[in-house]
Amino acid sequence: GAVTNTPLRMRVIGDYNGTAITACYTPKYGQVEDYSVIIEPQTSLSVHNGLQKENSFITKDESSVYVKSDSKISTLHIYDASGRLLTHKTD
C-alpha cells in the first residue's frame, strides 16, 4: 500500500544514546539528515532463454529463490535488480 514512483521525505536523526527524539528534534550531540526516497513497484521474477513460463514456477521469500520446472534446467543465474550476479549453478 505504499506510494510508488513519488519522491517521499525521510528524516534520519541520530543523537546521544537514550535521548527521546521527535520529528522536529534538534540534536545536541548528533545530526539530522533529510533524504528523498522513491519506492518502486515490485517487479516479478523473469524467465529467460527458452524456459517455458507455463511449465515453470519461480518464487522467492526473504532469503531464498525457488525454481520448479518440467523442463531440465542445466544452468541457472540469479541477478539482483542492479544486474549484479548473486549466484549461478551449472549441472
Q: How many CB atoms lie within 10 A of CB 60?
A: 12
In this prediction, residue 30 carries a pLDDT of 85
- Give me the pLDDT at residue 85, please: 84
Top pLDDT among 55 and 77 is at 77
Other C-beta atoms closer than 10 Å to the C-beta of 65 total 13
**Strand-pair partners of 90:** 75
pLDDT at 47: 54
Region 21-47: what's the mean pLDDT?
77
**Who's near 83: CB < 8 A, 6+ residues apart?**
none
What is the CA angle 40-3-38, rounded to 5? Answer: 40
Residue 64 pLDDT greater than 80, yes or no = no
